[in-house]
Structure 1
Amino acid sequence: MLATAHRRRLAAVVPSLLLCVALVAGCTTAGLQAEGAQPPPGPGAPGPAGDAPRGEPGTLVTGEPRASRGVVAAGGADAVYNYGPTVMADGGRIRMWWCSQYGSARPPGDDILYATAAAPDGPFTGVGGGAPTAVLSGEPGRFDGVHTCDPSVIRVDGTYYMYYTGARGDHAVGNAIGLVTSTDGVHWSRVTDGPIVTPARDTHRANDYGAGQPAAVYLDGWFYLMFTDTTGRAAGWNGAGQFLLRSKDPAFGAGVQALGPEGFVPVPGTASPRAHSLVDAFSADLMWVDALDAFAIAHQTADGTSVTFWNRDFSATPYHPVVIPSEWEEGPGLVRRPEGHAPVDPREPCGRVPLDVFHATVIGEAEAPTGLRHFGVDLTGVDGCATPDRAVAVLDGFAVPSPVRTMDVVVDGRLLRVDRRSVALELADHVLAERLAVLDRVPVAARLAPGARAVRAPGEGTGFVLDGTLWPVTSAAAVGRNESTPEPVSGQEWRNYPAGPTLGPRS
């Protein structure tokens, strides 16, 4: 049965704008320039703060185009639509959450499903290997009383954060954005009683969709949240546009900054006027690409998924856009690492960036998007390790030979020198056969010698104490291979140590 929310959003777009069909997850356009939207500046254009003219954006080379042969994920039972995915590459698995509807999930309305696969082309299965699992549904009486849709999931310090679109009822005026958290990505708890982002209501348009379609990234202690708001002042004539907030609070309850024409500025709250739009689009996704030192925004264009690039403060476009050729109906969901960063190619981490995306490809029997497929290309010839800062960001989780016949493990921007190769392999996700010269310009933060002191605290875990700093470790095998016997300590003693980065796989 077609969700009535689809009908509400279809009706939200005036008949003369049939080029743009608004759905539960929003509305997509191809080749339309929305009035008031902010296109990327041209070469040599002055920056938002009036800085000196910029140079010509770089040209990125693409290669190895790919596409799944067919649908890779779909809800079971009566799930007649599937779209709006968020995709996480995590510990050798591909994890995906998306918008659908199960009649068995109450209340009636949009549900968020979850499934995993060993590879991007699937097959994706739910918890226990069966049909994809409904992990979030509306909660009557709240802002999301009927519909939950458009998930964006990141994981920071062991906590999963899902930002999503919620609607109170079939004809509620405007959607809003909510937040739930989890320790496993399956069981979710609501963080606040209401939404964390509401429509700004700067202006009235025929498209009364409101605020939704969030895309979240965590970078340098900041939570970035990009989203649609058809009531925003800088949105286009049809409501298209992508707005950006950031805060060090994942719930955006304090210290909120909004991206405006002059850069990020503090604002009183998340409903402050929307003064600057990043891209003329609905239904977009965001990620940080360490190898390019740039943000990437994916959205629909006539030829498939267009990816545009912005520097760290969104003041310049350092590269020309690239296109992932694909069949398009609704989406997209970029394949990202847990914090919303681009995956790293273990074969060529400094020279190649994989861009993979999932999205709906057809309008199904319910006149709603479905047919989730996978498409991708690689960016090749990238100089991703040109500087020490870039190198340690790209190589996070790699083990490399050290200059003194030991191994260095790159973790959270630091080098840990590990005496035993077997221990380093337990602490790393990938291994480079040869050392990069740029790493010689990175200081060694600590050394892990055989038998180094280790401690264990109830409810906290196990960690190595190196030069007075506690480095938590997720691999029990690494502790054993290092011949370190964990010493019992209290939780308070554990917390009294200066905290170092976590060692070992974090999935």
Structure 2
Amino acid sequence: MPRPSRAMASTAGYLAAAGLLAACGSAEGTTTQQATPTAVQLHADQPPADAAEAPLRTDRARQGAGTLVSGGPAAPYNYAPTALSDGGQYRIWWCSQLPGIGVPGDDVLTSSASAVTGPFPDGTAVLHGSGEGFDAVHTCDPSVIRVNGIYYMYYTGAAGDAPYGNAIGLATSGDGVHWDRRPTPVVLPSMDVRRANTYGVGQPSVLRLDGWFYLMFTDTSGAAANSAGAGQFVLRSPDPAFATSVQALTPAGFQDVANTKAKRSLSIANAYSADWMWVDSLNAFAVAHEVDGKGTVISFWDKDFTTHPYQDLVLDGSWREGPGLVRRIDGHAPPGADDPCTRVPIDVVRATGDDGDGPTTLRLFGLDVTNAGGCQTLATADGVAMPSPDRMIVLVVGGRLVKIERRSVSAQIAAKVLDKPVPGLDSLPVVATIKAGTPVLHAPDRPYAFVVDGKLWPVGPAAVSANSSGVTETSDADWDARPVGGDLSAYRGN
């Protein structure tokens, strides 16, 4: 049976009242005309979210010459990518459709390459409609991170074309290819407001920061969405399933809520299909979204979502659907190869064409920020190592210190090893010490991990070798049963 083409409205740059969408189709129906994104104010007395925005210097503007990755000739569309620098590879997952794969509907494809510019082989399907439940027909808009050796994919799922039928699902994996999905969605439409745009909730983007999973998403029924349903909302929880300890971003900051259907009272971007990352050296969130007549706009928010600390950046050029930032495995910005303290590479993959069946022709666009000013304060030094008075190396990990005996080991873990410590280093607690020969635990679908005081500290194999550590093999279940101190594999994408 031939697979139906995905139903979506035109994304030519105009507003239309209809904007009705089917299943996992584009949330736009239309695109917005707002040139400079700001927080959407629900109440007139809400203070403006703008501050004195510092300019960022950039260089190395770049555009890929052709298609970066696709599902091959049989794939009618390719869009909504998520990209990670992961273990010496660049891995991309995106929305497409391949014939003969499961239930007819949207599929999630994946591919990998040794360089961000490729070449990427044609993608293979790793997730598709389950045949039953909320994602019976469509799985689309993936966002992937890796935490303590586990890949988490948040995606849009739909059982058909019902109004507000989209919901956000969660699947987990040990290798990024074989996925186990939760049978129920983690986020449903809030239904604060019924609008002509009945897309619902979807287009998730996830990152990990300070022990929290931060989830940004579209909800066309959200109270603070605009009249066309555009808006980006934020939930956070230490629980990847968002079943406990959920907080929602509101005009008063993050507030405890009963569940993920809580009122969407604050939008951080007047947009659909956005992506984001945390930039350690800027101490800020970077939100990537498309703006008509410009291309991909990168807007910046401070950690509390009260100010825009930096002026917007623009990656101009053609686009047809939202961008996917190239990120570290935890959803943070990757370090600059030349200087991780001051240089930040910002690369996005986005669909630039439409052959009539939906957005396609995924291309790479990017630039480098050159004046990040990181590594000067503890707030901007996460993932940075430096010498300590006892002749060891200390690594800043989420506001704590991990001591490492061998500098060669720290070089395999840290984004950068400084020659001098940053001010205030003595104020941070030391939570682990990795001496030469510290034992390592490994499982078939779990990473290598130093074992310190009964806790696991995941690392890449190069760090294990440099530390002359013995490795004990165990089962995935035994690995998962042990407490994890922190993920040391994130900073270099090990």
Q: TM-score range by the shorter chain?
A: 0.7 to 0.9
How is 1:294-313 mapped onto 2 (pairs within 5 angstroms)?
294-301=284-291, 302-313=293-304
CA contact (8 A) 2:37 2:299 kept: no
Q: Determine the C-alpha separation between the residues in 1 that align with 2:207 and 2:136.
A: 26
The residue number in structure 1 matching 2:79 is 83
Match of 2:281 in 1: 291
Aligned residue in 1 for 2:319: 328
User: Relative to structure 1, is the Cα distance of residues 155 and 310 closer, same or farther in structure 2, using a 3 angstrom cutoff?
Assistant: same
Report the equivalent of 1:175.
166
Give the secondary structure class of the aligned counterpart of 2:208. Answer: strand
**CA–CA distance in structure 2, aligned partners of residues 114 and 496 of structure 1:** 29
Q: Distance in 2 between matches of 1:169 and 1:496?
A: 38
Alpha-carbon distance in 1 for matches of 2:194, 2:477? 54
Residue number in structure 2 paired with 1:17 = 16
**Structure 2 vs 1, CA of residues 360 and 417 (structure 1 numbering), >3 Å: closer, same or farther?**
same
Task: Trace 1:104-503 onto structure 2 (pairs within 5 A).
Answer: 104-125=100-121, 131-171=122-162, 173-191=164-182, 193-301=183-291, 302-366=293-357, 368-391=358-381, 393=382, 396=383, 400=386, 407-425=393-411, 427-428=412-413, 432=417, 434-438=419-423, 441=426, 445=430, 447-450=433-436, 454=439, 468=453, 470=455, 472=457, 474=459, 482=467, 500-501=485-486
The offset of 1:500, in angstroms, is 3.9
Whole-Å separation in 2 of the counterparts to 1:493 and 1:273: 40
Match of 2:97 among 96, 101, 120: 101
- SS of alignment partner, residue 380 of structure 2: helix
Shift of 1:142: 1.0
Higher gyration radius (CA): 1
Number of aligned pairs?
A: 484
DSSP 3-state at the match of 2:240: coil
C-alpha distance in 1, partners of 2:150/2:387?
32
Letter of the 1:285 counterpart: D
1:432, CA displacement in angstroms? 4.0
Query: After superposition, what is the alpha-carbon deviation per residue over 1:370-424, rounded to whole angstroms, capped at 9, x for unaligned?
Result: 0000000111112112212321x1xx1x555666766555555554444444444
Aligned partner of residue 389 in structure 1, secondary structure: helix
Is the 8 Å Cα contact of residues 413 and 459 (structure 2) preserved in structure 1?
Answer: no
> 1:69: which partner in 2?
65
Q: What TM-score, normalized to structure 1? A: 0.83
Distance 1:115 1:487, change over 3 A: closer
Q: Identity of paired residues, percent?
A: 44
What is the distance in 2 between the residues matched to 1:480 and 1:357?
33
SS state at 1:106 partner? coil
Which structure 1 residue ranges, 5 or more long, are not aligned? 126-130
Tell me what 1:59 maps to. Answer: 55
The answer for unaligned runs of 5 or more in structure 2 is none
Q: 1:209 and 1:493, CA in 2 relative to 1: closer, same or farther beyond 3 A? A: closer
**2: distance between equivalents of 1:114 and 1:493?**
29
AA aligned opposite 1:39: T
Which secondary structure does the structure 2 equivalent of 1:17 belong to?
coil
More helix as a share of residues: 1
Q: Answer yes or no: is the 8 Å Cα contact 1:5–1:171 preserved in 2.
A: no
- CA distance in 2 between counterparts of 1:134 and 1:355 reads 27
* RMSD over aligned Cα atoms: 3.9
Answer yes or no: is the 8 Å Cα contact 1:63–1:379 preserved in 2: yes
Distance 1:272 1:422, change over 3 A: closer
Q: Is the partner of 2:144 in helix, strand or coil?
A: strand
TM-score (norm 2): 0.85
Whether the aligned pair in 2 keeps the contact of 1:364 and 1:370 (CA below 8 Å) is yes
Quote the residue 1:39 is aligned against. Answer: 38
Measured after TM superposition, the shift of residue 137 of structure 1 is 0.3
Say if 1:29 and 1:300, in contact at 8 Å, map to a contact too: no
Counterpart AA for 1:181? T
Quickly say closer, same or farther: Cα 1:132–1:347, change in 2 above 3 A.
Answer: same
